[in-house]
Every structure is written in structure tokens, then in C-alpha cells.
Structure 1
Amino acid sequence: MNELAVVDLTDPGFWSNPYPVLAGARSRHPLARGVDGSLIALSFDAVEWVLRDPRFLTTDLLAPRGITEGPIAEWWGQVMFSANPPEHTRLRRLVSRAFTPRAVESLRPRVAQITEDSLDSFHGPTADLVAEFAHELPIRVMAAMLGVPSGDHHRFAAWTADLGLVFSSVHTPELLDRLEAAINGLNQYVAELIADRRAQPGDDMLSGLIAAEADGDALSEAELVAMVENLLFAGHDTTRSMLMIGAALLLSHPDQRALLSNDPSLAAQAVDEILRYEAPVLGSGRDAAEPFDLFGVPVAAGETVTTMSLAANRDPDAFDDPDRFDIRRPGGKLMSFGQGIHYCLGAALARLEGQVAFPMLLARFPGMELAAEPAWVPYASIRRFEQLIVTID
């Protein structure tokens, strides 16, 4: 058995182009190690195994980053994707009815209208697709679903975007101050929003969450605040990344752009290929509940294994010619939304937003071009650019 390669997530160069490093490490073994000795799952099979095996539990992503108390730690302790069964099962059951395929598909006209309104704000000759497209669209969609007043969405858009940096590989005192300000602002806003909705219920998702009950169980006040924050955060930041990444990929691959422009029915395949080729989320961590061997490597009880979506989605054993961006690629299983019981609750909504938005963007601005190559933000586990500047014909 080959010795495990070492993948250095603290190297800024890794974040600008991780694929050669990941491919080299994956060719030696399905697993690698971080510079701290922790295990990283790289191959498609290894990532899927870790995400589906019930012997792996959700890890505390914040403690290794030095966040063990305070408002950020309290927030993380309440959000659904940090919980394990049976608590996770209970929370997911209470909220999942809002994300059924039928419920999500019913939002298509609303998403199209929001997209059209967002594109109307472009006034050229240049635009920043991060600020004016990727940032705006998902927060407006989630605000519409939750019944958030339209004038307020900019307030929590900044907070949720900042919170996405909590999973960065490197933390600074300045970043921690920024994160605490974001969660404090979001906590206060969401509590006020819930109080208003209790007084005046509507037909929105927030009213549904307040009224949600299953088998005589309902969300507590603290759980309700955390659930709304969970939805705002997850529904904004990762979709925001997918939209900016997808726009950059389509604009930098003229042949694929032309295919989608000429045949918008390829939108579903295009979105899945964007998610595969450049996964918006680096991966996630899982803790072993007991000792066992994983692909021939001993894993101790309590040891953390980090899954690497970027490596799994470009595994040549799972995808033909994986380093080629091809929106006609046949659909298949991806690791971009996770797998198993923590599979992303909002995956269908994120896909819908991309399926609607990308064809509309290309149709509205057929002469749009990248003004500069976008730069990846280093250490951001929810991958992003600060800007995506384009010229508009």
C-alpha cells in the first residue's frame, strides 16, 4: 500500500489551483493527510463511504479553529447540519416538507421574476457578477420564501456572506471580529422577524416553520431562530458561490456557453456539470464513533476525516475525462451537496436557481465577456471570488 500523500491546505497556492495536488495525492491512495496529520478522503468511493457510513458523525468544525465559546460557537451548536441522529432526524423531519420537489418547482416563476429584476440592474459598460448577480439572486429568493421584507434583504445578505468565512482554513483576529458582528446582527434580526410573524402569520415558509409540528413535536424558540439562520446561511452563501463560479465557467468556455445559449434545455445538465467541475464547497468533516480501518488505514475513535468534494468530483474512476468541462456530460452522482443523511436540504432549490439564471443571463447579455480572470479567495472552504468583472456589449 502506498504511503499517504500530504495535502497542505495552508498553502495559498493550493487554493488558486488545487487539482494537480489532489490528483497526485489521489493517484497514490484514496486517502491523504493534512500537514497536521489528519486524514482527508479524496477518491469518489472514499468520500461517499465517509459521508454514508453511520459510524461517522458530524464533526465540530469550529473547535480546531480555536472557536469553542461565544456567539459563533453557540450558533454552530444549534444549526441542523452540526447535529447527529436522533436530533438531526427530528429537526430535518420538521423542516423537510418545505423543500419537497413539488414545493421547489412551484418557485420557478418566482425565481425567473427575481432573476429578471436582478438583471435589470445591470447598466454597463461593466458589471461585477459577484455583487450584482451571484450575491443578489439567492438572497432575494430565500427572502421571498421566508417572507422577509424586500427592503431588509441587504442587511442579512452581508451577515450570511461573512458567516461563510467561519470555515476558512486560517483565522485572524480581524476575521473573528467580523464573524461575531455577523452572528450578533443576524441573531437580533431573526428574533425580531419571528416575533413579527408570530403576530401576523402569512403563507410563507417562516410562518410554516413556526407552525410546523410532527408527532406532537415542534421547534423551540432557540431552534426556530437557528433554523431560519441555517436556511438563510446555507441558502445564500453556497448558492452564491455556485452562481459566480458557473458564470465564470460559462464565460471562459465559449463552446459550452454557445451550447447553452442555443439550447436552454441543457440547463439542468449545465448546472450539474458546474457543480461537478468546480464544487462550491471544499468538503466536510466527520468524526469516527469507533475505531476501524478505512481503505487499509486505521482510524481511531474520535479521529476526524475530512472529505474533499473537489477531488471526488474529478476522480477518473468515477468520471470520464474529469478535467474537461462539458455541459452535455450524462448526469450522475456528485459529491457537491454531500451524501447520506446530511445531503443538502436545499440542493433542489440551488439547482433550480442555476437552471433559471444561467440561460437568462446569457440570453440577456449575449456579448458579455470576462474583463479579467477572477481570483479565488484563499482558505475559503465555501469557494468564492471577491469580484467577477465583466464587460457588457
Structure 2
Amino acid sequence: MRLDLSDPTLDVTSPRVHAARERSWYAETPWGHAVLRYEAASAVLRDRRFRQGNARWPEQNGVPHGPFSAWWHETLLSLEGNDHARVRRLLVPAFRTRTIAAMTPRFTALAHELVDAFASRGSVEFIAEFAEPYAARIICLLLGIDESAWPEVAHWADDLGASFSIDVGRQVPRIETALAGLSAYVEEVVADRRRSPRDDLVSTLTATLAEPDGLTERELNVALVFLAFAGMETTRNQLGLALQTLLQHRDQWRLLGERPELGPRAVEEVMRVNPTVTWVTREALEDLVLEDPGGGAPLRIARGGIVQVLSHAAGTDPSAMPDPSFDITAQRPPHHGFGAGIHHCLGHFVARTDMAVALPLLARRMPDARPDGPGQWLPVSGNTGAVRFPITFSPGVGAPDA
């Protein structure tokens, strides 16, 4: 079966994709083969015969040169081998679990502050009034920059988010303008930390510039720009998708408000069934044969061949979870929303923590929330999410200290 991933009308969570999964563990696409079942997806993401497949994304979309292409090839997403290992090793200390966990009270206060601004009104455009400022201000907190800068950071991040769109070739001027703006801003922040180090992520990473095998100034700039845009964009989108899913399951929304300790489980369950990153790409480093762990026909991949792992199809595969219906109390196999293997998302704990704070708080303070119309959504392919998602609810029902 063939799935046209280049078609913006294709919904990769649709019954058509499920039907393809029933017929075979993989499908053909214009961008290589798509893996559709859970065990095969897990195996591919950890198979060292593949590299991260996004490195060729600009060339595949007619953008072989220029600032965007150059920057893209230097991000951690595109690096491999010793270069990837060195840069990742230097970035890891900035994402210590205890450091992020210690920020939880600030995340909680921020979420309440944002809800307070619209609670008495009984309506909210969720993306503009909660998801975007919440995600952008958390990035500012993480980087140790003034939270008042969040609108500009969010604007740059939003435009850089077009890097993952399936029409990226037409978005290059917008992307490169944002790239120049955010890069210049990051340079100023790094210069400030070199003069006056603080207890923040930028200072931690800036200190590596003086190490014999530390980050170069260019590597630091590339890393911080990528962190700022990817961290904001994906969290904002995933929050919108989480609300979409939870409001379609009223019993789960109500349960989450009553049992906030289910926040971490809710995050995992939402990312299993409605991920913002709808596919993860791998490129074969050699001619190889992929065996289906489920016993299906093997798949031959030539060197340079592309394999797309479809996150939703794998996450809802009945062969891996007999009852794949949405349930925030269920224990599931790990989803693929943050990737896997050596390219597993470096900032996953930040995203998991801030969403696990926000979702129960929203469910408690807006217990009868419901969509106010269909909203406006990106194509359900590539990186997806809401552009606009209006919500209504009874004003003042869920008090902050409820």
C-alpha cells in the first residue's frame, strides 16, 4: 500500500493509515518507506545501521544551500558519530533532572497566572492565551532570560517551526528571517553570561567554551537557537493536541482534574495517541534487510534509503496493546513521541514536566471546558498542532486552591 506523506490532506492518524497497518507492517511513501507497527518501529529507532534521517530534509525540499540549510546541518538533530556524541555530552548537564524538577513550583505559578487572566471570562483562545505564552515563558525561564521577551522568542520560534512543515521549500524566507533574529538575540545572551555567569542553562553551556574539547561559539549558538524554537514549538503544539484529546474523553478530563497525580501518565497517553511529531525519520547507512519482529515479509533498504516511523500508527498498534483506547490510568509500552536510541529528545524531561503540571491544573480549573467551534489546525502530518483552539467553560468554577 502507498501513503502520500507529501499530501497535506493526508491524516496520518486516519482509518486509512490504520487499514494500511492491518495489511502490512510498512507502506511505501514518496519519502521512503513508512513503518506502521510498534515492535518494528521500536527496532528501527534503535538500529545503529540507520542515522537520523532529517539531515537531508533541506535538500529533499529543494533547499541545498543558504543559511537555513547550513544551520540545519549543524543542529544536534543532524549530527552523527563522534560529532553528535561530543555535542550531546556537553549539552546533557544543562538538562539535569533535579534542576528541571526544582522548577515545578514556578511552572505551577505560571500556569495559574495565565488561567487567572481569563478564568472570569469563561472563554479562552487556548493557543494564544495559554499554550504559547506558557511554553515560551518556560523556555525563557530555562535559558535564564527575561520573561518579558517571550512574545519575540515565540514569534521567532513559530516561524522556525516551518522548518518541519511539508511545504518547507516555500517557507525559507520566513525561516531565515527568524533564524537571523533568534541567533542575534542568543549571541547577546551568551555575551552577557560570559561577563556575569548565573545559575541557568546558558551559563552552564557557556562555561564549556573554555574547555579543551568544549563547544565552539558557533555550536553553542546553533544549540541554543534549536532549543529555543524546538522546545517552545513542540510544547505549545502538544498542549493543544492534549486538550483536543482530553476534551473528546470527558471522563478522562474529569478524572485528571480530580487526580492531579495522573498528570505524568496523561502526558504519555496523549503523546501516544495524538503526538505533535507524527513521524520520525531514519536513513540507512548501508544496504540492509529489515526483519519484521511480527513475522511479516522482510524489507530491503538500500544505502541512503529513508524510513519514516509513524508515531500514532505505532502507538495505537493492537498487536502491541490489545486495548489501544485512550486511558490515562493504563500502563503502556513507551511511545515514540520523543524518538528513541541515541537521538532520543534531549529536552524530554522539560516537556514532560511542564505538561504534567499544566494539564491537571487546567482540568481542575476548567472542569466543564468544551471546544468553541472546530478551531484551526495544521495538517495532521509532519509536525502538527493547533493554530487556534477556542475553548468555553463556566467562569470561576474551578478555584485556584480547589
Q: TM-score range by the shorter chain?
A: over 0.9
2:311 aligns with 309
- 1:44-63 matches, within 5 Å, as 44-59=38-53, 60=55, 61-63=57-59
Identity of aligned residues (%): 34
- 1:143-222 matches, within 5 Å, as 143-171=140-168, 173=170, 175-212=171-208, 216-222=212-218
User: Runs of at least 4 residues of structure 1 off by over 6 A?
Assistant: none
3-state SS in 1 of match to 2:304 = coil
- 1:360-375 matches, within 5 Å, as 360-375=361-376
TM-score by length of 2: 0.91
Contact kept in structure 2, 1:95 and 1:212, CA below 8 Å: no
Once the 2 structures are TM-superposed, how far is the Cα of residue 234 of structure 1 from its aligned partner?
Answer: 2.0
Moved more, 196-205 or 82-91: 196-205
- 1:310-325 matches, within 5 Å, as 310-322=312-324, 324-325=325-326
- Whichever residue aligns with residue 45 of structure 1, its letter is E
- Whichever residue aligns with residue 16 of structure 2, its letter is V
Unpaired segments of 5 or more residues in structure 1?
Answer: none
Contact kept in structure 2, 1:94 and 1:213, CA below 8 Å: no
Contact kept in structure 1, 2:241 and 2:274, CA below 8 Å: yes
Once the 2 structures are TM-superposed, how far is the Cα of residue 380 of structure 1 from its aligned partner?
Answer: 5.4
2:398 aligns with none
Report the Cα distance in structure 2 between the residues aligned to 1:189 and 1:80, rounded to whole angstroms.
Answer: 20
Contact kept in structure 2, 1:71 and 1:180, CA below 8 Å: yes
3-state SS in 2 of match to 1:210 = helix
Report the Cα distance in structure 1 between the residues aligned to 2:31 and 2:238, rounded to whole angstroms.
Answer: 30
1:286 aligns with 282
Contact kept in structure 2, 1:93 and 1:214, CA below 8 Å: no
2:130 aligns with 133
3-state SS in 2 of match to 1:287 = strand
3-state SS in 1 of match to 2:9 = helix
Contact kept in structure 1, 2:263 and 2:360, CA below 8 Å: yes
Contact kept in structure 2, 1:283 and 1:381, CA below 8 Å: yes
Pair 1:191–1:332, CA change in 2 (3 A): same
Once the 2 structures are TM-superposed, how far is the Cα of residue 52 of structure 1 from its aligned partner?
Answer: 0.7
Pair 1:213–1:182, CA change in 2 (3 A): closer
Pair 1:219–1:172, CA change in 2 (3 A): closer
2:13 aligns with 18
- Whichever residue aligns with residue 319 of structure 1, its letter is M
1:233 aligns with 229
Unpaired segments of 5 or more residues in structure 2?
Answer: 292-297, 395-402
Report the Cα distance in structure 2 between the residues aligned to 1:212 and 1:117, rounded to whole angstroms.
Answer: 35
- Whichever residue aligns with residue 372 of structure 2, its letter is A
Once the 2 structures are TM-superposed, how far is the Cα of residue 206 of structure 1 from its aligned partner?
Answer: 0.4
1:29 aligns with 24
- Whichever residue aligns with residue 300 of structure 1, its letter is A
1:41 aligns with 35
3-state SS in 2 of match to 1:335 = coil
Contact kept in structure 2, 1:269 and 1:331, CA below 8 Å: no
Given the alignment of the two structures, is residue 87 of structure 1 paired with residue 83 of structure 2, yes or no? yes
1:101 aligns with 97
Once the 2 structures are TM-superposed, how far is the Cα of residue 375 of structure 1 from its aligned partner?
Answer: 4.3
- Whichever residue aligns with residue 382 of structure 1, its letter is N
